[in-house]
Amino acid sequence: MRAVGRAVLRLAVRWSGLLMAAGLALAGLWVEAAVAMLVALGQVLAWRMRLPRGWEAAASITAMVAALSSYLHLYERWTWWDLPVHAALTAVVSVMAAWMVDVRWCRRASPRPWLMVISGFLLALVWEVLEWWGHQVVDPRVHIAPADTAGDVIAGVLGASAAAWWWHRRSAAGPSGPVRSPSRSARASSDSASTRLGAGRSVR
């Protein structure tokens, strides 16, 4: 039963956004369905990037909370709710960005915390640019007041910094250098063994 529960939880973490998007599309709520597709994209990316399970779940849940907050108009009801959502969402996305660069591309054992902070800052700026574009092109009701923009960026940087601190705290004892691929390690071991065998034959 415990294994079945874990399997169901993994399915929810990885596919709940797509299921929600399909339901909203069937109901004719196309804008909401598009937002849900962004949630689904984040869930699939976190899964396929092989993030640690805890961070994968955090990314999935945070994206879902951000979308549901929009559907339920929580940003309008609670003016302060925007800041913790920005902080949490930027935190998990900055981890994903740093993981993609360091682990998937540069073959490091773990993403560097400072890269998470920089990623969070850049992502927060990009998000504000998209909000400005949405205000100008999509819907003038999108809020782009200067104080709101500055608060969102600060919240995003604080969230990314908290994620970087937590990651560093949890993995301080682990390796941080480049990771050698298994194939190279296997070739190196094979070459070393061949050299030893060759040396033994030459002695004989």
Q: pLDDT tens for residues 117-170?
A: 999 999 988 887 777 666 566 555 555 555 577 888 899 999 999 999 999 887
Task: Give the model's pLDDT for residue 23.
Answer: 93
The pLDDT of residue 76 is: 84
Amino acid at 181: S
pLDDT above 90: residue 186: no
Give the C-alpha distances (Å, rounded to integers) separating 166 from 72, 81, 161, 187.
31, 23, 9, 36
- For the segment 188-199, the average pLDDT, to the nearest whole number, is 44
Q: What pLDDT sits at residue 200?
A: 45
The sign of the dihedral angle between the CA atoms of 185, 187, 188, 194 is positive
Better pLDDT: 105 or 5: 105
**pLDDT score of 204:** 42
**How does pLDDT run across 13-64, given as a tens digit for each residue?**
889 999 999 999 999 888 889 889 999 999 999 999 999 999 999 999 999 9
Please say whether the beta carbons of 96 and 59 come within 8 A: yes
pLDDT at residue number 126: 86
Please report which residue ranges of 140-181 form alpha helices under DSSP H: 146-171
pLDDT value at position 150? 83
Would the pTM count as exceeding 0.85?
A: no
Q: Where is pLDDT greater, at 196 or 170?
A: 170
